[in-house]
Amino acid sequence: MRKVIVVDGTHLQGKYKGTMLLATAQDGNFGIFPIAFGVVDSENDESWEWCFKQLSHVIPDDRGLAIISDRHRAIGNAIGKVYPLASRGICTYHLYKNILERFRGGESFRLVKRAANAYREYEFNAIFEEIRQVNPALHGYLQKADVRYWTRVYFNGDRYNFRTTNIAESINKVLSEATRWFAERRTDATLMKTVLTCGIDKLLEVKCKDLSVQQIDSHQFEIGHGASVNVVNLTMKTCTCRMFDLDKIPCVHALAAADAKKVSPIRLCHQYYHTTYLTNAYAASICPKDRQSPVPAEVESKICVLPMVRQPPGRPKKCMFKSATEIALTKKVPRKLPTCSKCGQTGHNVRTCTF
């Protein structure tokens, strides 16, 4: 797996209340891979610290490790204690929702998304300066959120294509069918006869024949012309567009350079995207519990009590809280069609009227 862990918590709504904490990853074919889950009373410092301590037994602290989560303070405190060497990133989707709730202006929101997804520093700095001019309050809020956490270009480590915690929020729907799920993934992985996974093969099917290629030396190539010129180093696996550097997948410029030098794109992809890595990810089997086997004494002697959950006053809500995006869509007024003052019909005005 790429060394990125996505963590999140979800409230349990069944017979047994509490909160389930999830740790997930993503395989080389962009499939969700569950790592661990635990049930606690709520998301607090003690719960998240316990969760990360259990996780550290199988995934030790490492400078090459990245942990993606929302901006929950308890998660940040626990990561600082248990994983001080790892890089922490925050979910951009949660950041966008907070911005929509606090600030107005569609243009500012689009600028934030462009800034978060920028690959090059000068591009980010130009967009961030534009945000400061358009909305100084939003600029201050983003600075307080720390650009090292929510931007791609200033992240301290490798987060690859991970920008949100969506894979952790989706995993709770399939945990009950994990046995069947792993069996299907294992079968699909063994059927792949290519060196790279199917997901990566699809990404590499981009057309780069129209790009002009000029060789600089045995390692570097100049791709494009005019203002849109990028330099690719096939040996170092870098490109000035920074997409090749950060995602570890050859960009369109790298593919054009590889085509000119007759180098296979397979050599340019990170080993995490190889089919052998995908097969190893699902090599182990998840077996159901054998009800006939005796329970170990040390396990049977432990008493597991229900989480102490405080029932809030008032009538329980039957519907989920809508995000700011959902609220905005429901309140959006449909665009009114123009009405011609000459003929009275809709769809055109008096200047374009043909009657």
pLDDT tens-digit readout, 299-354: 888 877 766 666 667 776 655 455 444 454 455 444 566 778 888 777 777 777 77
Domain boundary among 265, 281, 297: 281
pLDDT number for residue 271: 92
Q: Is the pLDDT of residue 202 over 70?
A: yes
The per-residue pLDDT for range 249-294, each reduced to its tens digit, is: 999 999 999 999 999 999 999 999 999 999 999 888 777 667 777 8
Residue 98 lies in a domain: yes
Mean per-residue pLDDT of the chain: 83
Average pLDDT over residues 16-28: 87
- Min mean pLDDT across 33-37, 48-52, 286-290 is at 286-290
Domain boundary among 142, 173, 204: 173
**Segments forming the whole domain that contains residue 336:** 318-355
Residues 111 and 230 in one domain: no
Residue 8 lies in a domain: yes
Average pLDDT over residues 223-239: 88
Q: In the chain, what percentage of residues exceed pLDDT 70?
A: 86
Q: In the chain, what percentage of residues exceed pLDDT 90?
A: 36
The per-residue pLDDT for range 95-110, each reduced to its tens digit, is: 888 888 888 766 777 8
Residues 139 and 31 in one domain: yes
The CB-side HSE value for 187 (13 A sphere, CA atoms) comes to 6
Residues 223 and 86 in one domain: no
pTM: 0.75
The CATH number linked to 87 is 3.30.420
| Rg, C-alpha atoms of the chain | 25
pLDDT number for residue 154: 92
